Amino acid sequence: MLATAETIAMPTPTPIAAAAATAMAARTNRALPDPLAEAPDGYRHLLERLLGGARVRSERINLVDAAAAVWSRPGFDTLMSSPTLTFEPFDYQLQTVATVLGRMRGRAILADEVGLGKTIEAALVLSELRLRGLARRVLVITPAGLVDQWREELERKFCLPTIVPRRGEWESSDESPVVVVSIATARRDPTRSALVGDRGISSSWTRLIDCGTHGRPPAGWPANSPPATCCC
């Protein structure tokens, strides 16, 4: 004989099962958190417009994303390039880099004694700026005898892509290599015209490392120049 629904005995829930069911019901009925309350300050106004159904231009979204990325970066008291270095800088070099970045905004003249590592200090400044997106196109101007040294130091110790232009030409790539050129070559065309550009040197480069010209542009160059770190 088949049992009817009235004759089936339902099991009595245990206290643990009853508590779990109560917790599940409470979780289901709990109000969702307010997204505006948890949004970072930089996103709050944009999120309000999104929740209100307002159409937001993609350019503005990208601008807010870029601003939030900059805001979330560590300060200059943190050395972001440490994992990529193939050596251990001296304490006095790290102190110099912190001073140049924090107090001088990358504009400095490094005039230590010979052999104390001015190239290392300038390259550390460059690495920190590049990792923060503040030095995408970098030009290093140096005496002819130091071109190979600069290139080797940047590539071997800092893992930075470099290139030495020949006859005023070099291949551009997404890596934006550091361009290393001698003072004599930078004075002559076609290299001079390629480096300065149609809109001037300040529009062509975001950062200049000057080694040997003591802050003065090479002869024949315009007076305006991008932010520079000079090694004397």
Same domain for 181 and 145, yes or no, is: yes
Same domain, 58 and 169: no
Please indicate, yes or no, whether residues 179 and 118 belong to a single structural domain of this protein: yes
Q: Which has more pLDDT, 52 or 28?
A: 52
In terms of domains, do 122 and 170 share one?
yes
Which pLDDT tens digit goes with each residue over 30-46? 555 666 677 777 777 77
| 139 and 102 belong to one structural domain | yes
Look at residue 15 and tell me if it is in a domain.
Answer: no
| Percent of the chain at pLDDT exceeding 70 | 67
Domain interval for residue 156: 82-231
The answer to whether position 136 is within a domain reads: yes
Amino acid 2: pLDDT: 44
Q: Sorting pLDDT into bands at 50, 70 and 90, what band is 113?
A: confident
Query: Are 56 and 156 found together in one domain?
Result: no
pLDDT value of residue 91: 92
Q: How many domains does the chain have?
A: 2
Average of per-residue pLDDT across 183-198: 79
pLDDT at position 90 over 90: yes
Q: What is the CATH number of the domain that holds 145?
A: 3.40.50.10810
Q: What is the pLDDT, as a whole number, of residue 7?
A: 46
**CB atoms < 10 A from the CB of 11, how many?**
6
The residue with greater pLDDT, 203 or 65, is: 65
Is residue 25, in this structure, part of any structural domain at all? Answer: no
